[in-house]
Amino acid sequence: MLFGDRKAIMLPLHHKRIAIAAASICLILIFSGCSGKASGPKFDGENAFKRLKQQCDFGPRPLGTNAHEKTGDFLAATLKQYADQVFEHRTRHNSKSTNRAYTVRNIFGVFGKDGKRWVLLLAHWDTRPMADEEIDHAKAAKPILGANDGASGVAVLLEMARLFSEKRPNVGVIIAFVDGEDFGATPDEMFIGSKAFAQYWKDVMKPVSGFKKFDYGILLDMVGDKDLEIHREMFSAQKAPEIVDKVWKVADELGYKQYFKQGKADMKYMIQDDHLPLLAAGIKCIDIIDFDYAYWHTLDDTVDKCSPESLRIVGDVVTRVVYSEPAFADSAAE
Ligand SMILES: [Zn+2]
């Protein structure tokens, strides 16, 4: 079992929440050199917030709905304004729970070509078809709007796409909007798009000129909460500690200590999310997520719970990380 050594202290599996005694964690953290002071164009939180609202204007966006289809088209069209190349990887999902087949769309934007290094930035764009954290049964059967859980990560990446179109980073960047993260009630019907991507990523990336492998990946999920508080996620810290350190060091440099909790003893959650299939496929991918969000999987996950400022803080950090990357790997840092 992948995380068998933790089994004894894991509570029953719950999507995105495995509460665990943080104090018992002892990690060997490898410090990577966070190279350079290079900063790119400025991340605009208001622009990102506009992107969040645009997605929510389509309504709830679960698999198999018109709103889902329209949102996918909107994301592909918007990426095309900025990226060198945009393409989709579509798969079918035959659901055991609904007896229906669904089209699952992973949408990719490529920035740069023939790069020696490639960074993957991803977020899920679908929203949950049921509000299963609602106590009231009638409410629990309804789909959520997913302003934070869905739209926020995509919003940050769309604003970053605009920045990359103004100034290309030294490294190649692939933005991936993955689908079907939040579809099912159980993990076998979740992370559908990222599982398909993880399984076929070498084939999926074939259209990208000069692509060989991802140096690392950063997943953004639930990063729009007005009350932003991001802890190091434990799977990420176990499997890709140098990437977690790289991101948290930049957050510290930018003065965002209060939002990106710095203490390693502050780790609170092991979160099942889209980074796990990628990690299992050998791509070092971390999850940046603020799981302290009272409206998670409820009908109250709405635009008013999010803020431009939170999107800007996360956007600033990830933007700085990407623009700081040298075109060639610094051997000391690898
Ligand atoms: Zn969710």
In sign, the C-alpha dihedral spanning 302, 306, 311, 312 is positive
Bridge partners of 18, per DSSP, are 270
CA–centroid distance, 128 to ligand 1, in Å, is 6
CA–centroid distance, 149 to ligand 1, in Å, is 5
For residue 57, the tally of other CB atoms under 10 A from its CB is: 13
Predicted confidence (pLDDT) at residue 16 exceeds the cutoff of 70: no
CA–centroid distance, 324 to ligand 1, in Å, is 31
Predicted confidence (pLDDT) at residue 137 exceeds the cutoff of 60: yes
Phi and psi dihedrals of 19, rounded to 5? -70, 140
Taken in order of first residue, the domains within the chain and their CATH numbers are 37-225+274-327 (3.40.630.10)
The per-residue pLDDT for range 260-278, each reduced to its tens digit, is: 998 877 788 999 999 999 9
Predicted confidence (pLDDT) at residue 171 exceeds the cutoff of 70: yes
The per-residue pLDDT for range 17-32, each reduced to its tens digit, is: 544 333 333 333 333 3
CA–centroid distance, 25 to ligand 1, in Å, is 26
CA–centroid distance, 190 to ligand 1, in Å, is 9
The DSSP string of 27-70 is --PPPPP-------SPP-HHHHHHHHHHHHTT----TTSHHHHH
pLDDT mean over 295-313? 98
Mapping DSSP onto H, E and C, the string for 103-140 reads EEEEEEEEECCCCCCEEEEEEECCCCCCCCCCCCHHHH
CA–centroid distance, 294 to ligand 1, in Å, is 12
pLDDT at 19: 40
Comparing 36-45, 81-90, 93-102, the range with the smallest average pLDDT is: 36-45
CB half-sphere exposure, 123, CA atoms < 13 A: 29
CA–centroid distance, 131 to ligand 1, in Å, is 9
CA–centroid distance, 144 to ligand 1, in Å, is 9
CA 196, distance to chain mean position in Å, is 16
By the CB criterion, residues less than 5 angstroms from ion ligand 1 are 149, 182
